[in-house]
Chain A
Amino acid sequence: MKLTLKVWRQKNSKTPGEFKTYAADHVSPDMSFLEMLDVVNQDLIVKGDEPIAFDHDCREGICGMCSLMINGVAHGPKKAITTCQLHMRSFSDGDTITIEPWRAMPFPIMKDLVVDRSSFDRIIQAGGYISASTGSAPDGNAIPVAKQDADKAMDAAACIGCGACVAACPNGSAMLFTAAKVAHLGFLPQGQAERHQRVVNMVATQDAEGFGNCTNIGECSSVCPKEISLDTIARLNRDLVVAALKGVEANV
C-alpha cells in the first residue's frame, strides 16, 4: 500500500506547530498503525530528518500510553481499540491520513504527537483510591461482593486513562475518565466510606485543571477503547447530588 500522511509537527510546547506531508510507500496491511509510523521514522532518520515523536509502550491496548487523532477520530476509525491495535488493513491503498495529537487545554503538547496527561494523575490524587494502607486488610472473603456489582465495578475499572474521551469531547471534558473511577470504587462495599468526599474532590480537581463540563454529548464513550458506558457519568452525577445534600464540600 502507498499512503500520504499529514502529520502534526511541533518542536516543543513553546513553538507553534504545523502539518507536514510524508509519503509512506511500503505499507503492509499486516502492520499496526504504530509499526507504519516506525517504518516512516526509519526512513526519516536515514534521510537525516527528525523522526516523528509519538507516545506508545505496551502496543497491546492496555497501558493507555498511545494516543493520536486519526482523520479526526481518537484512536482511529475502528471501535473499541487503541491506536496500537489498529492495523493498516483498515485503510486502502492511496489514502491520505491526517494524524494529530490529542487537543485539549489540560493536555499541553510536548512535541509532535506527544501530550502531557499528568492532569489525569492529579484527578486520581484527589480521591481516586480507597484508603487502605498495606497490612490493614481483613480476609479477602470477609466482605462478599455480589457478582453483578463486581462485574459492573470491573466494567468501569477497565479504563486505561488514555485521554481519548477528553480529545473527542467538544468541551474537552474529563467526565468519563473521572466517572469511571467514581463508579468502579462506588460499586464496591470497600469504596463506600469515602464515596461522597471522593466524587466532590475529584470533580473539583477536574474543574481546576481546566477540563470542560459535560453536556451529555457522548463522543467520549463512542471513542473509548474500553467502551466505558455513559451510565458511569449518570452515577457520578447522582453521587454529586447526594454529596451536596449531605453538605460534603471539596477539601483539596
Chain B
Amino acid sequence: MSDTTSETTTRTTTRTVEFVKGLESKAPGGPIEQRWDKHRFEMKLVNPANRRRYTVIVVGSGLAGGAAAATLGEQGYNVLCFCYQDSPRRAHSIAAQGGINAAKNYRNDGDSVFRLFYDTVKGGDFRARESNVYRLAQVSVNIIDQCVAQGVPFAREYGGYLDNRSFGGAQVSRTFYARGQTGQQLLLGAYQALERQIAAGSVKMFPRTEMLDLVLVDGRARGIITRDMVTGKVERHVADAVVLATGGYGNVFYLSTNAKGCNTTAIWRAHRRGAFFGNPCFTQIHPTCIPVTGDHQSKLTLMSESLRNDGRIWVPKKRGDTRDPRQIPESERDYYLEERYPSFGNLVPRDVASRNAKQVCDEGRGVGPGGLGVYLDFADSIKRLGKAKIVERYGNLFDMYAQITGENPYETPMRIYPAIHYTMGGLWVDYNLMSTIPGLFVAGEANFSDHGANRLGASALMQGLADGYFVLPYTIANFLAQIKPGNLDTGHVAFAEAEAEVAQRTQQLLQINGKRTVDSFHRELGKIIWDECGMARNEAGLRKALQRIPELREEFWQNVRVPGESGELNQELEKAGRVADFLELGELMCIDALTRTESCGGHFREESQTEDGEALRDDANFSFVSAWEYTGNLAKPELHKEPLAFEYVKPSQRSYK
C-alpha cells in the first residue's frame, strides 16, 4: 500500500515520550530490526524441568489462543484451555477467507519485512506501536513455515512451491492462501497441534465453558470463574498466568460478520477488574458483505474482498433508479471508486471503500431493499477473462451469494454493503502482550493490537498466530520465571467473592422476568451503535448515543425476560450475560469516539475531514493510544494516554488518489 516509498528511508528523531504510570509500553529501544531479538535474549527463561509446575489458563481457542495453548503445552507448561463452542475447532478464526500475509518475498516483487512493517503502520493510519508492528512483520515468515510443517494445504503452483496473491490493495503479492478457506485451514492446524497436546496430557480442554470473571489475588491475575454451559455449574480455576484470546467485540453492533457467540464478556470482565481498554472506538467495517434483507436478519455474511480485484463497484447516477441493473446504460452508471481514486480504483482500503458506499447510499443512490447496497459487477471481467476463469477464482463466493440471495451473480451484478467485521480496539497490552493487570496476557483480536486505527486485509490471521506461536511463549516464560509457581488454591477468599458475584448476577438475570427478549435489547443497542458510532461519527450523534445507551441498559435490568434456570443448558441466559456486557462496552466506545475529535483509519469523525472528504488526522493532539480505566462509574472512565513515537515511518496523510 506504499504509494510513496521515499519516506521509508527518512529516520526522524525520537520524541521524548512521557509514560503515564501503569502504561509503560516496555518496547525496547535501539535499531528496530534488532529489538525483538535483543528482547528475546534478555527475557528470562523457565528451566524445562520446572515448567510443569506452572499453570497457564488460556481462554479462547482460535488462532491466538489455540496456538498459544498448543505451544505452551509443547514446552511443558500445564495448560488449561477454555472455549464456549463444543470444540476448539469451531473458533471464529475459522471463517476468515482470504489469506495470511507474510514477508517471504517469494515473488521477488520488492517485499521485505520492512515493507510489511511500513504498510501496516501506514495502513493503520499511524496509531500503532512501531516496535510491535515490526516484530509482527518479522515473525510472519515463521508462521508460514510452521503452518506448512503442520500440513496446512496452502495453494501451490505447478512446480510445487507456495502460491501468493495480492490482497486488499497491497502492491506486492505476499498473501498465502488455502482456497477461500485460509482461516479454516490455519485454525485446523492450530487445533490439531492443540489436540495433540490434549492427548499428551499437557493441555486440559474445557469446551462449552464460558469465562464469567477474572480473579485477582494481591493485584495479580490468578484465575477465572467459569460456567459449564451444559450443567450450569459455576467453577473456579487457579493459575500462575491467564491469557485472554477471546476475539473481538464486533457483536456489540448485533449485526456483524462475527459468529453469533462472539462476545466481549471475558475482556469486559477483565476491564472491570482493572485492565485498561485500548482504543475501543477503533472498529473496522468490511465493504463487501451481503446486504440485510429484513428484521429477522441474525448476522451478515462477508464475501472475501478479493472480489474487488475483478469486480467493478457502481451505483446509478440517478437517485431512486430501480431499473434492472443490466438495463442501466454505461453512461448512467457511476463507478464512483474508479472515478474518485484513479490509482487504486476498486482496491482502495476497506474504510475508504465502506465510507464511499455509505455516502452514495445516503445520497439516495443505493440499490436493493431499503436502498442499502451498491453493485459489484463482474460483467466486464467475464467478458475479458471468460466465465471459466471467474468460476475458478471466485466460484465458492458466487455460490454462497446465490444461496443467500437467490440471485445469480454471473448474470446480474452482486449487491454489497459494508458490515462490521473486526475490532482493532481491545484490552491494552504492553510489548510483552501483558495488560495493566500483572499476569493477565491478551492476544489476537482481543488486544488493542498492532493494527492501529485500521487493519489491512490478511493481517488478522497473521497477528493471531504471531501472538500465539511466537510471542506469548517467550513473554509468558519471562513472566513466570520471575514468580514462584502455585502457592494458591481456589479456596482463597478472592475466588469465593468472585464466584458469589457471578452467581448473584445470574440469579438477577433470571429473576427480572420482564417483557422484552434479550435479542430485542441487543438489536436496539446494535442500531444505536451502528447509527452513531459506525462508519461515520459526529459529536451530536455520539452525545445522543451516550444518552440512550444508559437508558437502554437500565431498561434491560428492569425488563428483560430470561426463561429457564441456571442449572441447565440455557442459551438465553448465556446471551443475556453477554448483552449485559455489550450494553456497558457500547457506552465506552462512544465516549472514546467522542473524545478522539480527529479522524483516523476506521474512526471517521465528520468534523475532521479534508476538503475531499478524506479522514483528517490530528497528529499534534492525538498521536496516542487511548487506554481507558474502569472507575466504577461507567459514564466516567479515566483516560490514560500512551504516546506514540514514529521513528521509522514518518506520519503522512494517506492518499489513494
Contact = CB atoms under 8 A, between A and B. Distances in A.
B42 interface: no
A21 interface: no
B8 interface: no
A160 B470 CA distance: 27
Interface in A158-212: 158, 160-161, 184-185, 187-188, 190-191
B156 A145 contact: yes
Interface stretch (B290-298, B321-329, B625-633, B637-645): B290-298
Contacts of B403: 81, 85, 87
A67 to B, nearest CB: 10
A245 interface: no
Contacts of B569: 12, 53, 110-111, 114
Interface stretch (B10-18, B191-199, B477-485): B191-199
Contacts of A50: 563-564
Which of A62, A85, A146: most chain B CB closer than 10 A?
A: A62
Interface in A33-80: 34-36, 38-39, 42, 45-46, 48-51, 53, 55-65
B437 to A, nearest CB: 26
B148 A140 contact: yes
Interface residues of A, number: 80
Given A30-B294, A46-B517, A118-B86, A59 B299 contact: yes
Given A58-B95, A158-B181, A188-B153, A137 B145 contact: yes
Interface stretch (B119-127, B159-167, B589-597): B159-167
B260 A157 contact: no
Contact of B571 (A53, A136, A187): A53
A184 B151 CA distance: 8
A231 interface: no
B159 A144 contact: yes
Interface in B140-159: 142, 144-151, 153-159
Given A50-B563, A150-B153, A34 B195 contact: no
A32 interface: yes
Interface string B560-584: 0101100011011000000000000
A184 B563 contact: no
B620 to A, nearest CB: 43
Contacts of A120: 87
Contacts of B462: none
Contacts of B192: 124, 128-130
B557 interface: no
Interface string A112-146: 00101110110011101111111111111101111
Contacts of B205: 121
B158 A118 contact: no
A118 B155 contact: no
Contacts of B144: 140
Nearest to A133: B74
A132 B230 CA distance: 34
Most buried by A among B142, B178, B192, B294: B192
A51 B86 contact: no
B148 A45 contact: no
Of residues A49, A58, A144, A157, which shows the largest number of chain B Cβ atoms within 10 Å of its Cβ? A58
A246 interface: no
Contact of B149 (A48, A117, A138): A138
For B148, B151, B296, the residue with the greatest tally of chain A CB atoms inside 10 Å of its CB is: B151
B259 interface: yes
Contact of A147 (B88, B156, B188, B561): B156
Contacts of A141: 106, 161-162
Interface string B159-188: 111100000000000000011010011001
Nearest to B468: A134
Contacts of B470: 134
A184 B154 CA distance: 12
B94 A58 contact: yes
B253 to A, nearest CB: 15
Nearest to B72: A134
B525 interface: no
The majority secondary structure among interface residues of chain A is loop
Nearest to A61: B400
B613 interface: no
A121 B149 contact: no
Contact of B179 (A34, A46, A57, A154): A154
B386 interface: no
Given A45-B561, A146-B160, A157-B188, A51 B95 contact: no
B301 interface: yes
Contacts of A146: 156, 160
A237 interface: no
Nearest to A78: B403
B92 A57 contact: yes
A141 B85 CA distance: 35
Contact of A132 (B106, B149, B160, B406): B149
Contacts of A92: none
A118 B87 contact: yes
A34 B294 contact: no
A57 B296 CA distance: 16
B473 interface: yes
A170 to B, nearest CB: 25
A51 B196 contact: no
Contacts of B95: 58, 60, 62-63
Contacts of A29: 406
A42 to B, nearest CB: 5
Contacts of B87: 117-118, 120-121, 161
B358 interface: no
A144 B195 contact: no
B519 interface: yes
Contact of B260 (A59, A89, A121, A132): A59
B158 A147 contact: yes
B404 interface: yes
A144 B572 contact: no
B568 A55 contact: no
Q: Which of B86, B156, B161, B404 has the most CB of A within 10 A?
A: B86
Contacts of A191: 151
Contacts of A161: 87, 89-90
Contacts of B148: 137, 140, 143, 190
Contact of B519 (A38, A111, A134): A38
Interface in B66-109: 67, 70-71, 74, 85-90, 92, 94-95, 104, 106
Interface in A1-23: 11-12
A233 interface: no
A46 B86 contact: no
A183 to B, nearest CB: 11
B110 to A, nearest CB: 18
A150 B191 CA distance: 20
Contacts of B302: 60
Interface string B354-385: 00000000000000000000000000000000
B94 A140 contact: no
A24 B594 CA distance: 44
A65 B563 contact: no
Contacts of B147: 140
Q: Which 9 A-B pairs have the closest CB atoms?
A: A144-B160, A129-B192, A137-B149, A132-B149, A137-B145, A125-B199, A153-B153, A30-B293, A150-B156
Given A50-B563, A58-B94, A157-B178, 6 more contacts: A50-B564, A133-B71, A134-B146, A135-B146, A145-B160, A146-B156
18 contacts: A30-B296, A30-B406, A31-B296, A32-B404, A34-B298, A55-B86, A58-B260, A60-B400, A118-B86, A124-B195, A125-B198, A125-B199, A129-B196, A133-B74, A134-B146, A136-B149, A137-B146, A146-B160
